[in-house]
Amino acid sequence: MGKFLKLLVLFCAVSFALTLRTEEEIRRRDEMLRHSDNFTAAFSQEYLRYKETGVRTRQLEQMLAMMQITKEFARVEITELDAEAAIMSCVACRATVGLLLQQYRSGARDKEQIIEDSIGICIDLTSYSVIVCEGVIRLFADHLIYIVDARPALTANQMCSMVLQPECGDPDPVFDFTINVSPGPPITGPKSGSIPRNANEIKIIHITDPHYDPAYLVGGFADCPDPTCCRRFHGMANTTAARAGRWGDYRSCDSPWEVVEDALEAAHRQHPDAHLIYITGDYIDHGVWETTHAGNMAILDRFYAAVRRVFGNKPVYPVLGNHEGQPTDQFAPSHITDPVISSHWLYQHSANAWAQWLPASALTTVRRGGYYTVNNLPGFPRLRIIGLNNNDCYRMNLWVMYSRVEIAQQLQWLHDTLLAAEAAGEYVHILGHILTSGSSCFRYWSREFRRIVDRFHRIISGQFYGHSHNDEFNIYYARQQHQTAINYAWLGGATTSYGGQNPNYAVYFVDREIYQVNEKESWYYSVTEANLNEATRPVWRLHYRFREFYNLPDLSPASLDNFVTNTMSRSRNALRSYREFRSSASDFVMNQPCDDNCLRGQLCSVTRNEINDNRKCNEINNFPLS
């Protein structure tokens, strides 16, 4: 009893002290992780005793209470959780996965018993219903069991370090890999300069993260404990305040079809002269406990048909999001052919659907792994588009723990494709779903991608992503020169309001010589306003023109870095306006308090290129604000 109480006191003292991601906080976190093995052993002992006797001891109840996982865990990145919730999620992962692994590998529990135990633990540690816990566990079980059987040396700490990076420590070196990067000219300074704006620019519409939910129920219950709400599953709301609106809801609700369709039609209506359409994934809803192959394909088919109907013969370049996997986030290597866990169905379906937009030469790699390249575009002879399936970088893709071979192959293909583009005098736009430098991608993948960007930053003229649902940007800095800005990425926001932001889409104005973005516009509608006038369609408005609003000379990496370093990091007004832009003027976000620390927190998302590489962020994060 005495040893247990000392352990409990230590965990409480350390976890409740964690409030900011500071050096001291990281030290305390590491101290806590050093004791997690003792906690895991104690939890295993208490839990197994409960399974034998049916009686929960006071110690077990205290442990379960400590490890409670909030509903926000399934809705945001782990780095967005408060520090206490983040570190306790790591403790919960190590304790529960450690227990289940030991029981399965020792033969004490068979597969079905492990599934039942996992469902019980899910119910104990979350607010999710039995239906949600059982659905999620059973959907993911075959994938995880296959990986565990194939990798008998895989430990709970290794698994948790991957899924919960960086709050569970760096990913274990066992997950490390490298690709071959060809030598190139040295980086001698920031990438600067642009082509003057003119009437002959290319206009590109960027649509991302529609998250169409066929189960969306207007008037349904919008405030629920599950990963997504506003669904027939939850029934009709019993109060006006809890009611899901016709045009979306800020509270963890995906999009009804009218919202998806309206966003496409508004983009076309406002910009009939657009030349290209970029669509960066996540067409499927967040009902992760009940997705199916057939259901996912039905959603994809309906969305692609609407894109074709609205935009006609305009060139469209789509990529896959993490929600397109079945189950969510899972992208098995190509040699996995078992139809229950294989990803072949998705790649074949994508190749068939995208054949209306991509040439036959691009579909070979789509069938292989969901990625492609296209060049010699009519009217844009020196522009090459690369569409990545970078969901294999996602820390929630369990197959990363199985093998990095195909992950390395796609990155090597990217490198080799850029090498060919360089030789041909082409400029490149890279499309993907997940921002390569955020907390979503595991560190070793981000490092290797960054090496590629370092090598080819001169010809990579733009990167375009989704996933975060925030309308934001990221500056890439040279790995060995953290003050040297060499590239950038634009994140398009989302046409869903899931996550609390207003629906939006982006428009880029691109020159025809080096194909760099000269201006970015964002268009949105207010969910609050739209739902007050449900009988009429939402009013889409121009929110901002980035270059014009901040009075920038151009949108080159050097110019953006100068703005972030010398203006944004020192000005409350600049940080407040950027916060408004990121949320697409969401009432839900803007009505929440945000002090100076909150405002400064945005600087890291703009300047970080790799987990735990905070050099640039730390450099600019403590300037006094005026």
Residue set of the binding site for Zn(2+): 209, 211, 282, 322, 433, 467, 469
Q: How far is residue 210's CA from residue 263's CA, in Å, rounded to a whole number?
A: 9
| pLDDT over 90 (residue 264) | yes
| pLDDT over 90 (residue 30) | no
* Residue 612 confidence (pLDDT): 81
* Residue 79 confidence (pLDDT): 57
Mean pLDDT on 613-624: 90
Contact 285, 299 (CB under 8 A): yes
Measure the CA dihedral 567/569/570/571, to 10°.
70
CA distances (Å), origin 80, targets 7, 278, 380, 384: 27, 27, 40, 35
Q: What is the pLDDT of residues 537-556, one digit of tens each?
A: 999 999 999 999 999 999 99
Distant-in-sequence, close-in-space partners of 297: CB < 8 Å, separation ≥ 6: 345, 349
Q: Where is average pLDDT lowest: 11-15, 125-129, 394-398?
A: 11-15
* Residue 142 confidence (pLDDT): 97
| pLDDT over 70 (residue 73) | no
Q: b/e map of 152-169 (b: 16 or more CB within 10 Å)?
A: eebebbbbbbbbbbbbbb
Would you place residue 497 in the very low, low, confident or very high pLDDT band (cuts 50, 70, 90)?
very high
* Residue 68 confidence (pLDDT): 87
- DSSP code, position 392: G
Mean pLDDT on 262-268: 98
Residue set of the binding site: 209, 211, 282, 322, 433, 467, 469
Q: b/e map of 373-403 (b: 16 or more CB within 10 Å)?
A: bbbebeebebbbbbbbbbbbbbbbbbbbbbb
| pLDDT over 80 (residue 209) | yes
Domain ranges of the chain: 2-175, 202-216+254-620
| pLDDT over 90 (residue 84) | no
* Residue 4 confidence (pLDDT): 42
* Residue 5 confidence (pLDDT): 38
Would you place residue 31 in the very low, low, confident or very high pLDDT band (cuts 50, 70, 90)?
confident
Q: What is the rounded average pLDDT for all residues in the chain?
A: 92
Closest listed residue to residue 311, CA positions, set 134, 140, 527, 505:
505
| pLDDT over 70 (residue 76) | no
Mean pLDDT on 247-266: 97
* Residue 167 confidence (pLDDT): 77
Would you place residue 505 in the very low, low, confident or very high pLDDT band (cuts 50, 70, 90)?
very high
* Residue 80 confidence (pLDDT): 63
Mean pLDDT on 60-66: 92
Q: Full-prediction pTM beyond 0.75?
A: yes
Mean pLDDT on 474-484: 94
Q: For domain 202-216+254-620, give the CATH number.
A: 3.60.21.10
Mean pLDDT on 71-84: 62
The pair phi, psi for residue 477, each rounded to 5°, is -110, 150
Closest listed residue to residue 248, CA positions, set 306, 209, 278, 291:
209
Q: Where is average pLDDT lowest: 131-140, 165-174, 260-269, 414-423?
A: 165-174
Would you place residue 18 in the very low, low, confident or very high pLDDT band (cuts 50, 70, 90)?
very low
* Residue 3 confidence (pLDDT): 44
Q: Where is average pLDDT lowest: 117-131, 166-180, 281-295, 342-356?
A: 166-180
| pLDDT over 60 (residue 608) | yes
Would you place residue 534 in the very low, low, confident or very high pLDDT band (cuts 50, 70, 90)?
very high
Would you place residue 26 in the very low, low, confident or very high pLDDT band (cuts 50, 70, 90)?
low
Mean pLDDT on 234-253: 94
Would you place residue 165 in the very low, low, confident or very high pLDDT band (cuts 50, 70, 90)?
confident
* Residue 70 confidence (pLDDT): 72
Q: Where is average pLDDT lowest: 167-176, 437-446, 513-522?
A: 167-176
| pLDDT over 80 (residue 123) | yes
Say if residue 166 is preceded by a cis peptide, omega within 30 of 0.
yes
* Residue 508 confidence (pLDDT): 98
* Residue 22 confidence (pLDDT): 58
Would you place residue 7 in the very low, low, confident or very high pLDDT band (cuts 50, 70, 90)?
very low
Dihedral sign, Cα of residue 235, residue 236, residue 237, residue 243: positive
* Residue 53 confidence (pLDDT): 94
Percent of the chain with pLDDT over 70: 93
| pLDDT over 80 (residue 202) | yes
Contact 263, 492 (CB under 8 A): no
Count, residues in the chain: 626
DSSP class per residue in 68-127: PPPGGGGTS-GGGS-HHHHHHHHHHHHHHHHHHHHHHHTTSS-HHHHHHHHHHHHHHHSS
Distant-in-sequence, close-in-space partners of 116: CB < 8 Å, separation ≥ 6: none
